[in-house]
Structure 1
Amino acid sequence: MSNKKNILIIQPIHEEGIRLLESNPNYNYEIIEEIKLDDIKNKIQNCDGLSIRTAKLPGEIIDLGKKLKVISRHGVGYDNVDLAAIKKNKITLTITATANAVAVAEHVMFMLLNICKRKSMYDDAVKNGKFNDRNKLPKTIELWGKNILIAGFGRIGQALIKRCLGFEMNVFVYDPFINEEKIKSLGGIKVDNLENSLSKIDMISLHLPLTNETKNLIDINLIKKMKKNCIIINAARGGIINEIDLDRALNENLIFGAGLDVFDIEPPKEDNPLLKNDKVFLSPHTAAFTEECMKRMGKETIQNIIDFFDEKLEKSKIVKL
């Protein structure tokens, strides 16, 4: 009888990750490309470990995995898996803790620059014969000297601060779990109260998990405390910003603009007003979708599974349940 471990890969990952399994004689693997719950139900019953990206993995399916020992999340968020079922079944949940920080931090800068430099408006002017209207166009905004607040100071926040300092911005950090010395050593200024700090902030970048405490954290009441020129970027999790309130705030000029890579419902419904709001810059949950990052995440996702069975898994990659 074979002692090989059976690994179920839900949603394709980078080929470099697959090669780690192909080169290791201790593993068999199968890839589910199309997300069909009945297919997952059948195949999870015989797997020892699985990897998952954004697909939902409800508790009733996890309960079927009687042999299942480890779930490796391709990314850092894990609100798509049932944590109670994972804990009940004594399954280890891992994340790719080190893979996506640079890609997401760069995406935040990409969004900030596109909003501040009015990319769509200026590009449209040249392409549509409005070059001579350049003196009539609204002026752009510099990042230099602006106060940016990074809410959440894990690996992504710490990658972002380096890039903000490169633009000579003043960086404030809100994270109750990171001490002042750590923040100061990286060039930031710690703020203890998110709400009280908003009156001096020009830009906000969210890097918080979606929890009961952070759900709808950015609502109309909090937005009203922000500066009129404030820009909000969310490349963390949909639901942290109340989307109806954000649309209202943009329409009423309570803030300057926003950039969203994530949404409360994905894909967003056609009637989501933000889809037609020209003051918001959108991307389809692709902040980590660089070629380099996808390779890193694919490899780390599979390496986490291998390290688990080899009893070499780093604690920093295990989600505490």
Structure 2
Amino acid sequence: MPETIVLLDMTASERAEKLRALLPPGFVLTHGTTRGDAHMKEIIAEADYAISGQVGVSADVLRAARKLKLLHKWGVGVDNIDVAAAKELGIKVARTTGSNAVPVAEFALGLTLAALRFIGYGHAELKKGHWRTGHMPGDAYTLSGKTVGIVGFGAIGKNVAKLLKGFGCTILYAKRQPLDAAQEAALGVRHASMAELLAQSDVVSLHCPLTPETTNLIDAAAFRAMKKTAVLVNVARGGVVNEADLVVALRAKEIAGAAMDVFSVEPLPADSELLTLDNLVVTPHLAAMAADNFAPTVRRMFANIEHVSRGEPVPPLDLVV
């Protein structure tokens, strides 16, 4: 009897078929066809394994699962999964640690350049038929030779640092446990406090997890501490930035610009004030999506599911609980 894997996210049939092409023997795959907890409860009920991409998985949804052995995050961040409830229910939780580091780092670099040079604004205006070279939302800046502050220095942050080497940037990083001197020298980075990082950086790039400590980390006080010529880039989690304070800061030109791929509420509501700002680049949580990273990540998830199916432990690197 085949075991069932359910992808909880609403998924196009074409993408589901790409996943099925990578399925190991003995498994079948189903997937979400609409959004919301009610639908997730229905499709998780008889599943042996579940995968969540961008959707949050509440305790209520987990309790609807009658025989779930493992919930696997497609990616890294598990802040939108009720891990405590999973543990209480005896459901293992895993993730693909570091799997999206290169795609997200490259995307962060792209957003940085877009924010500094108003690429998004120019694109949107030209698509409307407006040639806006003399009517930019502010001054454009180069990245070369600037100081970049990286908040959170795991696999993604380190890859951002590697990419920035070619731009001759001074790279600061904020992390609870600093690297040793040899590691810093190899990456060409220097540890800084948040206060130093905000004051000195021309670009502040966020790569930290969403925790009680980092919720609203970048707020009105942080924006006041930044340079007026600085830009903020967020590919971490929406809740790390106080979005109301960001709107105020961008309108008042307390900072020059920002770029956001993640938001406190996703999908971003159509009436969000963030969509009214010309000095803000917005993308719909695209940073981890890269066709050439699809198969390696999916195979790794399926391998972890096979481990559980055979009664074997999930590799420690990927096991959450």
TM norm structure 2: 0.88
3-state DSSP class of the match of 1:108?
helix
Distance across 2 between alignment mates of 1:120 and 1:64 = 43
**Structure 2 counterpart of 1:288:** 288
Change (3 A) 1:264 1:37: closer
Deviation at 1:98, TM superposition (A): 3.0
**Structure 2 counterpart of 1:169:** 169
The code of the aligned residue for 2:68 comes to L
Alpha-carbon displacement from aligned partner over 1:29-75 (angstroms, at most 9, x marks no partner): 32333335444334433322111112232212212324221111111
Deviation at 1:27, TM superposition (A): 2.3
User: Is the contact made by 2:118 and 2:279 (CA closer than 8 Å) also made in structure 1?
Assistant: no
User: Is the contact made by 2:94 and 2:314 (CA closer than 8 Å) also made in structure 1?
Assistant: no
**Structure 1 counterpart of 2:84:** 84
**Structure 1, 75-84 or 119-128: larger mean CA deviation:** 119-128
Q: Percent identity of the aligned residues? A: 29
3-state DSSP class of the match of 1:7?
strand
1:8 aligns to 2:6 (yes or no): yes
2:21 to 19, 22, 44: 19
**Structure 2 counterpart of 1:315:** 316
User: Is the contact made by 1:51 and 1:73 (CA closer than 8 Å) also made in structure 2?
Assistant: yes
Deviation at 1:159, TM superposition (A): 1.1
- The structure, 1 or 2, with the larger RCO (C-alpha pairs under 8 Å, 6+ apart) is 1
Distance across 1 between alignment mates of 2:81 and 2:122 = 42
**Structure 1 counterpart of 2:144:** 144
Structure 1, unpaired ranges of 5+: none
**Structure 1, 290-299 or 10-19: larger mean CA deviation:** 10-19
3-state DSSP class of the match of 1:76?
coil
Alpha-carbon displacement from aligned partner over 1:108-145 (angstroms, at most 9, x marks no partner): 111111122222455557964567x59x9965312111
Structure 2, unpaired ranges of 5+: none
Give 1:42-191 correspondences, 5 Å limit.
Answer: 42-120=42-120, 122=122, 124=125, 128=130, 133=134, 140-181=140-181, 182-191=183-192
Aligned residue pairs, count: 313
Distance across 2 between alignment mates of 1:137 and 1:272 = 19
Distance across 1 between alignment mates of 2:139 and 2:57 = 47
The code of the aligned residue for 2:281 comes to F
Deviation at 1:309, TM superposition (A): 2.9
Q: Where in structure 1 do 4 or more consecutive aligned residues deviate above 4 Å?
A: 13-16, 120-127, 136-139
Give 1:181-220 correspondences, 5 Å limit.
Answer: 181=181, 182-191=183-192, 193-220=193-220
Superposed CA RMSD in Å reads: 2.5
Deviation at 1:226, TM superposition (A): 1.0
Distance across 2 between alignment mates of 1:121 and 1:242 = 23
Deviation at 1:308, TM superposition (A): 3.2
**Structure 1, 34-43 or 234-243: larger mean CA deviation:** 34-43
3-state DSSP class of the match of 1:20?
coil
